[in-house]
Amino acid sequence: MKKTWLAGLLSFLFPGMGQFYLGRMVLGILFAAGYIPTIFMAFSSENIIVAFGVLISFLVWISSISHAVVFSKK
């Protein structure tokens, strides 16, 4: 059984890493692919795009952590 705290920590450091640790490669790629573009959006020059990018990247990040913790227990 994989360590729950390690899966959560890896996803905390970068979305998708916890899924890679759990052997769920496709989900890891999807979380990373969802996170990376929103970080670029967060650093754009438009204020509304910055806010949207920060919000979406935060949601992807939190989802990645919670998914890694829940599925590490299975």
Least confident of 4-8, 13-17, 38-42, 55-59: 38-42
pTM recorded for the entire structure: 0.81
Number of domains in the chain: 1
- What pLDDT band is residue 31 in, cutting at 50, 70 and 90? very high
> Which range of residues forms the domain containing residue 19?
4-72
Helices and strands, number each (H, E), in the chain? 4, 0
Q: Which residues contact 2 (CB under 8 A, 6 or more apart)?
A: 21, 22, 72
Give CA 63 to chain center in angstroms. Answer: 6
- AA letter at 1: M
Give me the sign of the Cα torsion angle 7, 58, 38, 56.
Answer: positive
CB 30 within 8 A of CB 16: yes
Tell me the per-residue pLDDT of 33-55, one tens digit each, with 9 for 90 and over.
988 888 877 777 677 878 888 88
Mean pLDDT of 49-68: 89
